[in-house]
A and B are shown apart, each in its own frame.
Chain A
C-alpha cells in the first residue's frame, strides 16, 4: 500500500515567485495536514483539512493557502516567496479529523529552497 506521497521532492524558486506543493494521503484517509520544518527546528503546523474543509490553521501569513480535493489529495500554495520560506514541507494524513485519535502518518516532504 502506498504511504503518503508528496511531490515534488525538491524545488528551487526565486524570491517573489509562487509555489504549489502536492500531497496524496494514504488511501482511505480523509484528513491532510501541512507542516513546515525549517533547518534545525521541529515541524510547525500550517493547515489541516478534513473532508475538504479547513479544520485548523497555524500562525502563518496569508501568503500560505491550501485546499483539499474530492479525492482527498491536497495542495499547499505559497505566494510571494521569501528567503525564510526555505524549508522542508511535510504532509501528514490521518484517517479522521482528530489526529489524536487516529494518529498522523507523514510523507517524506518537499524540500523548498528560495534563492
Chain B
C-alpha cells in the first residue's frame, strides 16, 4: 500500500519557537518522490520542497529544513523561529512510480500549525 501518515493533527506554538512537523510514508517502490505543501486559508497549495528517494541529503531553505530518513521512512519538516505568517495547514505527499497511483500525489491528512504572537 502507498500511504502517508501525519500523526499530528494540530500544533500550536508561540512566535519564535521551533516546530517540527512529522511525516511517515509507506511504499514498496525503490524510486519515489516526497513533497511538502503549505495550504493557507485561501486554499491554494503552495509547493515547498520535492525530494527523490535517492537523495537523502537534508535540505535547508531559510527558516525551513527537511530531514529525510529512508531507514525510518520519514520526511520531517522543521520551521525555525516560527512566525505568525507560518500559520497554515501543511501537507506531506508521496508520488510513487509504480502501480495505479504512479505519477500522482498521495497526501497525508495534514497538520494545522497555529503560530501565536
Contacts and interface: CB of A to CB of B under 8 A. Distances in A.
> Real complex partners, A and B?
yes
B116 interface: no
Given A100-B97, A103-B50, A33 B104 contact: yes
Nearest to A94: B103
Contacts, number: 67
B115 interface: no
A98 B37 CA distance: 18
A73 B47 CA distance: 21
B44 interface: yes
Interface string A89-115: 010100001111001111111010000
Contacts of A98: 103
Interface of B: 4, 32-33, 37, 42-47, 50, 52, 91, 93, 95, 97, 100-110
21 contacts: A33-B105, A41-B109, A41-B110, A42-B91, A42-B93, A42-B109, A45-B106, A48-B104, A55-B103, A58-B101, A92-B105, A99-B103, A100-B52, A103-B50, A105-B47, A106-B37, A106-B45, A106-B46, A108-B42, A108-B43, A111-B43
